[in-house]
């Protein structure tokens, strides 16, 4: 039976579009990326690669399943493969099955790479419980039920390529652990799920009796989240909100362009109203709800303002202090965030360091490359294929 040539052409276009409209965590590398494409995106990588990954090794950007984890999302036992997107291979269990990336608790960067980005609702990072069992398939019971890091995007669209970096406070753990990075798309019913195999110092002791938790029926509406039961020594929650700030002191270099730095309080619990205000600093430091939105010197108040950007005018230096007040019917709580912008101007071109791969760069850092001076636009780790003359989302030539 011969197929219509037009139908074949249309089908090819559809497949091509689907394959490219995705993304993955590049650093630390996701399980799928370590199968084959790691050296394409990090030419300096000389470590081991994952083996016997199946077809997903050719499309690490395609791990897509229904959004709404943990209430919905991929089925238990199929979290690694995102519901067998390209086969079940990524769901294989075993403490020695997958290549691991060394990591430590505290501030860590997570770099995303997008082949063709979608408008985004949020990014979330979940981590396994310290006593999870690596010899069993990944289930919801393997992970903590709340993310250790949430980055709200409010429908913004990331740039293509290596355009997004998050700084998250990774909890204390021991030995082999899993991080589940979830990119929730704003304009579809799906999200992208990346499992990252990491190794902390020490050794975890698996709980071999950990029960499986069945995945909710995907044909039913997602149930409301269930709060964990109170411990015997806890009282009924009937108090002011508990504010959780990802980073309370931001130190950055002066930027030649207007820049915004996220103040993330998405882990705050019990708040019904948020108030953000600048309490110290000049008018060069302002408030901005999200990238591209208007800036303000007056307080910003809202029910959903769990994150706010500290907007800094181009060329500004100095310090500013911001105050977050979270309140509910039982009272209010206040915390402060300080941003410090350092003057990193160079007197001579010879004093500007040369661009180097495997070097961490912050917004405002300057490097020399092929006779020009470039300024860093996004936090990232340098790589040869992200040289300043080609990575326009990461660098801007200033001289």
Report DSSP letters for 291-360, one per residue.
TTSPEESS-EEESS--EEEEEE-TT--EEEEEEEEEEETTEEEEEEEEEEEE----SSGGGSPBP-TT-E
Q: What is the pLDDT of residue 350?
A: 64
Asked if pLDDT for residue 294 goes beyond 50, the answer is: yes
Within a domain: 140: yes
Q: What is the CATH number of the domain that holds 266?
A: 2.60.40.10
Which stretches of 174-331 are DSSP H helices? Answer: none
Residues 167 and 38 in one domain: yes
Q: What is the pLDDT of residue 82?
A: 94
Last residue of a domain, one of 133, 168, 199: 199
Within a domain: 108: yes
**Any idea what DSSP says for residue 68?**
S
In the structure, what pLDDT confidence band is assigned to residue 397 with cuts at 50, 70 and 90? confident
Within a domain: 386: yes
For the chain, give the percent of residues with pLDDT over 70. Answer: 85
Within a domain: 177: yes
Within a domain: 242: no
Residues 131 and 159 in one domain: yes
In the structure, what pLDDT confidence band is assigned to residue 238 with cuts at 50, 70 and 90? low
Query: Which residue has tokens 């180097």?
Result: 356
Asked if pLDDT for residue 227 goes beyond 80, the answer is: no
Residues 35 and 72 in one domain: yes
Residues 298 and 377 in one domain: no
Which stretches of 47-167 are DSSP H helices? Answer: none
pTM: 0.52
CA distances (Å), origin 105, targets 62, 134, 175, 266:
29, 20, 12, 19
Count of structural domains, the chain? 3
Last residue of a domain, one of 199, 232, 265: 199
Last residue of a domain, one of 180, 199, 218: 199
Within a domain: 233: no
Residues 338 and 354 in one domain: no
The pLDDT tens digits of the residues spanning 121-144 come to 999 999 999 999 999 999 999 999
CA atoms within 13 A on the CB side of 256: 15
Work out the number of other CB atoms within 10 angstroms of the CB of residue 207: 14
Pairing mode of beta strands 190-199, 318-328? unpaired
Please state, in angstroms and rounded to a whole number, the distance separating the CA atoms of residues 354 and 365. 11
Within a domain: 4: no
In the structure, what pLDDT confidence band is assigned to residue 208 with cuts at 50, 70 and 90? low
* Mean pLDDT, range 275-294, rounded to an integer: 91
Please state, in angstroms and rounded to a whole number, the distance separating the CA atoms of residues 364 and 348. 17
Residues 146 and 292 in one domain: no
Asked if pLDDT for residue 180 goes beyond 50, the answer is: yes
Asked if pLDDT for residue 366 goes beyond 80, the answer is: yes
Which residue range forms the structural domain that includes residue 253?
249-342
Please state, in angstroms and rounded to a whole number, the distance separating the CA atoms of residues 208 and 319. 51
Please state, in angstroms and rounded to a whole number, the distance separating the CA atoms of residues 198 and 123. 19
Asked if pLDDT for residue 239 goes beyond 90, the answer is: no
Residues 39 and 123 in one domain: yes
Within a domain: 238: no
Asked if pLDDT for residue 298 goes beyond 80, the answer is: yes
The rounded Cα 209 to chain-centroid distance in angstroms is 31
The whole-chain average pLDDT of the chain stands at 82
CA atoms within 13 A on the CB side of 69: 36
* Mean pLDDT, range 341-350, rounded to an integer: 60
Residues 274 and 130 in one domain: no
Residues 39 and 174 in one domain: yes
Residues 32 and 124 in one domain: yes
The torsion defined by the Cα of 198, 202, 206 and 207, in degrees rounded to 10, comes to: -120
CB 135 within 8 A of CB 93: yes
Q: What is the pLDDT of residue 166?
A: 93
Q: What is the pLDDT of residue 206?
A: 77
CB 127 within 8 A of CB 171: yes
Q: Output the six-digit token pair for 31.
A: 């399980």
In the structure, what pLDDT confidence band is assigned to residue 291 with cuts at 50, 70 and 90? confident
Residues 141 and 287 in one domain: no
CB 177 within 8 A of CB 200: yes
Q: Which of 64, 74, 69 is nearest to 32 (CA)?
A: 64
Q: What is the pLDDT of residue 246?
A: 80
DSSP-based three-state secondary structure for 179: strand
Asked if pLDDT for residue 224 goes beyond 70, the answer is: no
Q: What is the CATH number of the domain that holds 66?
A: 2.70.50.50
In the structure, what pLDDT confidence band is assigned to residue 349 with cuts at 50, 70 and 90? low
* Mean pLDDT, range 54-83, rounded to an integer: 93
Residues 376 and 262 in one domain: no
The pLDDT tens digits of the residues spanning 79-119 come to 999 999 888 999 999 999 999 999 999 999 999 998 867 89
CA atoms within 13 A on the CB side of 95: 11
Q: What is the CATH number of the domain that holds 391?
A: 2.10.10.20
Handedness of CA 368, 371, 375, 381 (dihedral sign): negative
Burial (CB count within 10 angstroms: exposed 0-12, middle 13-18, buried 19+), residue 20: middle
* Comparison of pLDDT for 341 and 218, the residue scoring more: 341
């Amino acid at each position: 039976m011969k197929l219509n040539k037009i139908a074949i052409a249309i089908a090819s276009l559809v497949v091509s579009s689907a394959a490219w409209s995705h993304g993955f965590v590049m650093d630390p590398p996701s399980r799928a990326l370590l199968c084959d494409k790691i050296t394409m995106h990090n030419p300096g990588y000389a470590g081991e690669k994952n083996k016997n990954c199946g077809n997903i090794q050719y499309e690490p950007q395609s791990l897509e399943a229904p959004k709404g984890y943990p209430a919905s999302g991929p089925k238990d036992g199929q979290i690694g493969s995102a519901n067998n997107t390209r086969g079940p291979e990524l769901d294989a269990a075993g403490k020695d099955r997958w290549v691991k990336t060394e990591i430590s608790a505290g501030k860590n960067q997570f770099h995303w790479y997008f082949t063709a980005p979608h408008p985004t609702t949020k990014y979330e990072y979940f981590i396994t419980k310290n006593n999870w069992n690596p010899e069993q398939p990944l289930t919801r019971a393997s992970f903590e039920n709340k993310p250790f890091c949430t980055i709200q995007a409010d429908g913004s669209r990331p740039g293509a390529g290596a355009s997004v970096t998050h700084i998250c406070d990774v909890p204390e753990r021991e030995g082999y652990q899993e991080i589940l990075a979830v990119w929730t798309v704003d304009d579809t019913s799906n999200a992208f799920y990346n499992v990252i195999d990491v190794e902390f110092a020490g050794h975890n002791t698996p709980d071999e009796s950990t029960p499986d938790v069945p995945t909710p029926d995907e044909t039913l509406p997602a149930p409301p989240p269930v709060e964990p039961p109170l411990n015997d020594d806890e009282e009924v929650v009937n108090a002011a909100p508990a504010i959780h700030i990802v980073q309370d002191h931001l130190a950055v270099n002066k930027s030649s362009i207007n820049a915004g730095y996220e103040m993330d309080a998405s882990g705050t619990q019990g708040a019904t109203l948020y108030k953000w205000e600048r309490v110290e600093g000049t008018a060069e430091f302002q408030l901005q709800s999200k990238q591209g939105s208007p800036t303000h010197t007056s307080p910003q108040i809202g029910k959903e303002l769990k994150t706010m950007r500290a907007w800094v005018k181009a060329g500004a230096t100095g310090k500013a202090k911001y105050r977050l007040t979270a309140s509910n019917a039982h009272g209010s709580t206040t915390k402060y965030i300080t941003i410090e912008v350092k003057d990193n101007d160079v007197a001579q071109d010879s004093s500007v360091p040369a661009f180097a791969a495997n070097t961490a760069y912050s917004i405002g850092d300057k490097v020399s490359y092929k006779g020009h001076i470039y300024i860093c636009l996004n936090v990232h780790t340098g790589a040869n294929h992200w040289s300043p003359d080609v990575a326009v989302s990461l660098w801007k030539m200033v001289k």
